[in-house]
Amino acid sequence: MDTILVANAGSSSLKFELFAVGSGLTKLVKGHVEGIGTAPYFIVKDAGGDKIVDKRYSSSEVPDLSSAMHRVGMWLREQHEGELVAVGHRVVHGGAEYGRPVRVDRRVLEDLERYIPLAPLHQPNNLALIETLLELRPDLPQIACFDTAFHRGHDPVTDHYAIPAHFFAEGVRRYGFHGLSYEYVAGRLQEIAPDIARGRVIVAHLGNGASLCAMRDGRSQECTFGFTALDGLPMGTRCGQIDPGVLLYLIEQGKMSSSDLQDMLYNESGLKGLSGISNDVRDLLASEDPGAILALDHFVHRISLNAGSLAAALGGLDAFVFTAGIGENSPVMRERIATKLAWLGAQLDPMRNENGETRLSTDDSKVGLYLVPTDEELMIARHTHGVITESNSSL
């Protein structure tokens, strides 16, 4: 049995899924190693969602990402017979050059290292895992799948900033992210609501990272993210859209260093910064603290403002789709956001929303409201299978 491993490396975590390759792709197991270097624990669930591994380690046993990958690899070799034919990776930033999945070699890896400053929370860890596997298994195909690639077909007017034009040629442009999630949702919409999928749709990827994407006929037209993953909506710990003058002020008058400013914008802002309590929406919903109330009100407000902007970019709106952690799991937040979209013609059905049905809007709603769970790992597995199949057929 041939298998494909999908890996998503974070600063202190490693998520993975194993797929069997046959007439299609079948999910075998899903797991993660969290708390790497501090309090590591290893959890694996089978295809039905039942937990089959729940093991904790000392920090010295799993001190870094490389050792975590070694633990995962050992467990997979012991528990699953068959041949691992490729590893697919989520890589956040592919820049302007990489608009489709690609097999990674040393040259590609060096190219992608140039984008570390544009995605400092994600890119270093994505690439570190690839580097580790290149050393351990140099002949094993590794496929990089980019969060930016889905947005590469934009009209140039969408991706330019109003700064001297030569900066665009140097790569200072709007890229957009969460593309693997948006690509998966666009495909699912074609299956569950084909007429809607061909129309004007805003998809809201709402999790610890949050963004909106405007689509027409399943293709990205505009995204709230820009040059980096700081722009657009406020997120769990990231600021979202901010006046550049604020940053100049903090540097000049606040005497903040670039590293201090980066840490604040990426790790201490967003819901966490506004509330002073938590970056987790569940904690904020359970709190009566004024900071928690402000943070959630601000989050909903900015989503509604950006939805209006994207509806204008599309020339109208046929559907609004919720996905990712908050979008999939919080009826309260879906209701609050849908209320703000009423002016566009969206009417939420309370019972459908509470039950988490695929269609959330009333039958006579002018704008459809939908819930479509995302699956970035399956999207990566599909891309990985496509690249190796294409490569094999060209031999």
Domains and CATH numbers, the chain: 2-146 (3.30.420.40), 194-376 (3.30.420.40)
CA distance 102 to 25: 19
Q: Which token pair is 314?
A: 């599309």
- Residue 395: is its pLDDT beyond 80? no
Residue 264 Rama label (left phi>0; alpha psi -120 to 50; beta):
alpha
With contact defined as beta carbons under 8 Å apart, do 383 and 389 qualify?
A: no
CA distance 123 to 131: 12
Strands 102-103 and 142-146: antiparallel
Q: What is the pLDDT of residue 230?
A: 94
Q: Which token pair is 281?
A: 């929406």
Residue 394 confidence class, pLDDT cut points 50, 70, 90: low
Asked if 243 is an active-site residue, the reply is no
CA distance 137 to 86: 10
Q: By C-alpha distance, which of 93, 346, 94, 308 is closest to 212? A: 308
| pLDDT tens, position by position, 324-359 | 999 999 999 999 999 999 999 999 999 999 999 999
Q: Which of 54, 111, 147, 260 is catalytic?
A: 147
With contact defined as beta carbons under 8 Å apart, do 23 and 143 qualify?
A: no
CA distance 141 to 170: 31
Residue with tokens 């041939």: 2
Q: What is the pLDDT of residue 392?
A: 67
- Residue 183: is its pLDDT beyond 80? yes
- Residue 306: is its pLDDT beyond 90? yes
Give SS3 for 32: strand
Residue type, 45: K
CA distance 319 to 201: 5
Q: What is the pLDDT of residue 393?
A: 60
CA distance 385 to 86: 8
Q: Residue 231 to residues 226, 266, 290: CA-CA distances in angstroms?
A: 6, 11, 25
Question: What mean pLDDT value characterizes the chain?
Answer: 93
- Residue 52: is its pLDDT beyond 70? yes
- Residue 11: is its pLDDT beyond 70? no
Q: What is the pLDDT of residue 240?
A: 96
Q: Which token pair is 249?
A: 């002020």
pLDDT > 90 in the chain, percent: 79
- Residue 43: is its pLDDT beyond 70? yes
- Kindly list the strands in the beta sheet with 319-323, ordered across the sheet, starting from the edge strand earlier in the chain: 219-223, 210-216, 200-206, 319-323, 368-371
Instruction: Average the pLDDT over each of 47-51, 162-166, 230-234, 236-240 and give the range with the smallest value.
Output: 47-51
Q: What is the pLDDT of residue 10?
A: 74
Longest dimension (CA), the chain: 63
